[in-house]
A and B are shown apart, each in its own frame.
Chain A
Amino acid sequence: MRLRRIFFRVVMAGYTENELAEDLNQQEYRYGFVTDIASDVAPAGLDEQVIRWISEKKKEPQWLLEFRLKAFEVWKSMQEPEWAHVAYQKPDFQAISYYAAPKQSKKYESWDDVDPEMKETMSKLGISLEEQQRLTGVAVDFVMDSVSVGTSFKAKLAELGIVFCSFSEAVQEHPDLVKKYLGTVVPMTDNFYAALNSAVFSDGSFCYIPKGVRCPMELSTYFRINAGGTGQFERTLVVADESSYVSYLEGCTAPQRDENQLHAAVVELVALDQAEIKYSTVQNWYPGDNEGKGGVFNFVTKRGMCETQAKISWTQVETGSAVTWKYPSCVLKGDGSIGEFYSVAVTNNFQQADTGTKMIHLGKNTKSTIISKGISAGKSQNSYRGLVQIHAQAENARNFSQCDSLLMGSECGAHTFPYIECKNAGAQIEHEATTSKIGEDQLFYCQQRGISEEKAISLIVNGYCKEVLNQLPMEFAVEAQKLLSISLEGSVG
């Protein structure tokens, strides 16, 4: 059993309408190919030895090994959560291989050194790295099988003091920063998957924006699970120092496989005083086939910490995965801090999603906004689960939540679980929710104007998600629209 992954940072090139139309014709999951590169893989199973092996492989300092071992101890005492509105065959954690690296142990000096097959993988993903490098305003990094391959634009970013690299690299080159912030937002004890990730994470991204710096380009990561029947555990840590700004994008794909693959990532965001982080995700892990076979289990913990007047904005478009369990959250610790969550979650066939957010209001005059758009089709189940928590000291806190569900067909389900805990009488909390069915009437109206059914669904769905899609950087929004259309093809009528 092997675990292998590709994971690189790019920004999508803009798509033309023709390309969009062409892609619409492709019904199958587009990213279901497997790259064949020999890799150095840990044996299946998890014990202290494996963790020591991973840590040694990555030449990690002692403190990080201790962090991992402690997390492993914690994990062993925990139970897999049962409260989510999802049902699935629990993974056998001893059957998973927890680390894989390509055979080449040295780092690539330039793009010419990169394995041609690796490049092939990228072009199959629709992104030519060479092309990407030429694009201005785009930072590109490419990491495969837990080893960093190279980063362009690094020099330009370095001039501003911005650090943007793989997590392993950060451990070697910026150990103080990593040590200071790792596990401060998502403690290893947080939940079952976060503990597991803390014990075995193999790589991920690290980003640091210094005081007062506005990152001039969008930083982007592309995650990909490549090997069969395995798990992927990456760790992302973004630290925005005082009065800085960064927009960070994340995209995900995985090959088509009959068995389930486990993805348990942890993302931690730290926004210091007056800093702003915008974190956008387009998640398109393989959802399993039409009968519900295979697909990725996406159990992810994402959380941001906002200091005084800081702002964190999560935007996610979730179209993939067999099971999604994900609640990007904001801890509004500082006075006047702002948290935002914009989400589109699409489920089709046998997909199950239990996703939402937590807004924890601790500081005074804190504000949060939640806009969630669920779309269910086929036999899928789509749940919004959100917590708005106003603590006693959070004077004058405000929250606005809007949770809309759109149903396509009659065999799917949409569920909303909003939790509100308010300990301060001065808080202002608004919650709006709607459930609607994609109207036969709307479709008929579009078709009567000459618009085909597929295009009509795409129009209606994109219209429904507009508030969220508008939050995405433009290139990403186009990609997201495309994904929405593909995910929902053939689900009405």
Chain B
Amino acid sequence: MLEIKALHASINGIEILKGLNLTVKPGEVHAIMGPNGAGKSTLASVLAGKEDYEITSGEIVFVGKDLLELSVEERAREGVFLAFQYPVEIPGVSNVNFLKTAMNEIREHRGLPALSAKEFLSLVKEKSALVELDASLASRAVNEGFSGGEKKRNEIFQMAMLEPKLAVLDETDSGLDIDALRIVAQGVNTLKTSDNATLVITHYQRLLDYIVPDYVHVLFDGKIVKTGGKELALELEEKGYDWIKS
């Protein structure tokens, strides 16, 4: 589904990713762990297509397509979803209106007819229940005045609505209390199918108690330096990242 080969990316002339390789197959959950500054969030941004980053070499193939050739919205329509570390507020734009616009753009891209208001609203009801998101939040402005936990749950709610092929969760656990963490993880687990894949970017092992990864990768200094099963996360938790560095 996703194949990243020898990827080099820099921002403002500073190289952050220095030859990153990663292969993700449908149905898999991959965790990317690593210390601060290793390039975890850069990887997420590069996958989504944020313009600030310059790809100096390497390639990313996503379901047979050259991802780097696609614009941000084209990637999204092809099925790349990024759950933001810091979800953005859009005052005056209701969550429902925002999502309806997004959904219809994605559906159009896939040759599907726009959803009727009724179909859309019943989907909202169903999916918001998944992350225990208060129905009133759906009609409020996008992320405006949401608590940290609500913002993260809203990300997963959007993910549930848009049904991506590849979901990238960028530090979704940061700032979440244990209950919110459980709800978010449960949402992600419920959405998991044999056709989609999840890339969980996290600093701590904690989230991986709830979202169990098939693979754990350690990202350090712009490269994946170690790959293992879920037990690797526990080992990291115990020994810290210095163990990898040395």
Contact = CB atoms under 8 A, between A and B. Distances in A.
A459 interface: yes
Contact of A463 (B82, B90, B158): B90
A445 B87 contact: yes
A466 B98 CA distance: 14
Nearest to B93: A463
Contacts of B82: 448
B72 A444 contact: yes
Contacts of B102: 446, 449-451
Contacts of A452: 73, 105
A40 interface: no
A8 B204 CA distance: 67
Of A446, A459, A460, the most chain B CB neighbours within 10 A belong to A446
A446 B97 CA distance: 12
Contact of B91 (A447, A448, A451, A464): A464
B99 to A, nearest CB: 8
B203 interface: no
Contacts of A463: 90-93, 141
B93 A450 contact: no
Give the secondary structure class of B's interface: helix
A317 to B, nearest CB: 15
A448 B97 contact: no
A264 to B, nearest CB: 34
B93 A460 contact: yes
Contact of B77 (A441, A442, A450): A450
Nearest to A439: B88
A462 interface: yes
A465 interface: yes
B233 interface: no
B160 interface: no
Contacts of A460: 90, 93
Contact of B93 (A447, A448, A462, A467): A462
A459 B98 contact: yes
B84 interface: yes
A450 B84 contact: no
B109 A450 contact: yes
B141 A447 contact: no
Contact of A447 (B73, B87, B89, B109): B73
Interface residues of A, number: 22
Contact of B92 (A441, A451, A465): A465
Nearest to A466: B92
A52 interface: no
Contacts of B88: 439, 441-442, 444-445
B90 A442 contact: yes
Contacts of A467: 92
B138 interface: no
Contacts of A446: 90, 98, 102
A465 B90 CA distance: 12
Nearest to A461: B92
Interface in A442-483: 442, 444-453, 455, 459-460, 462-467
Contacts of B77: 450
B206 interface: no
Given A450-B77, A455-B105, A445 B93 contact: no
B48 to A, nearest CB: 5
B172 to A, nearest CB: 15
Contact of A459 (B89, B90, B103): B90
Interface string B108-128: 010000000000000000000
A439 B91 CA distance: 12
Contacts of B87: 445
A470 to B, nearest CB: 10
Contacts of B48: 444, 448
B41 to A, nearest CB: 13
B106 interface: yes
Contact of B76 (A439, A442, A450, A465): A450
A33 B189 CA distance: 59
A460 B106 CA distance: 19
B162 A449 contact: yes
Nearest to B159: A449
B25 to A, nearest CB: 23
Contacts of B106: 450
Nearest to A452: B73
A451 B105 contact: yes
A459 to B, nearest CB: 5
B36 interface: no
A441 B52 CA distance: 11
Given A460-B93, A465-B92, 10 more contacts: A441-B88, A445-B88, A448-B75, A450-B76, A451-B73, A451-B102, A455-B101, A459-B98, A459-B101, A462-B93
Q: 9 closest Cβ contacts across the A-B interface? A: A463-B92, A463-B93, A466-B92, A449-B102, A450-B76, A447-B72, A445-B88, A450-B106, A447-B73
30 contacts: A439-B88, A442-B88, A447-B71, A447-B73, A447-B76, A448-B48, A448-B72, A448-B75, A448-B76, A449-B76, A449-B102, A449-B158, A450-B73, A450-B76, A450-B77, A450-B102, A450-B106, A450-B162, A451-B73, A451-B102, A452-B73, A453-B73, A459-B97, A460-B90, A463-B90, A463-B91, A463-B92, A464-B91, A465-B92, A467-B92
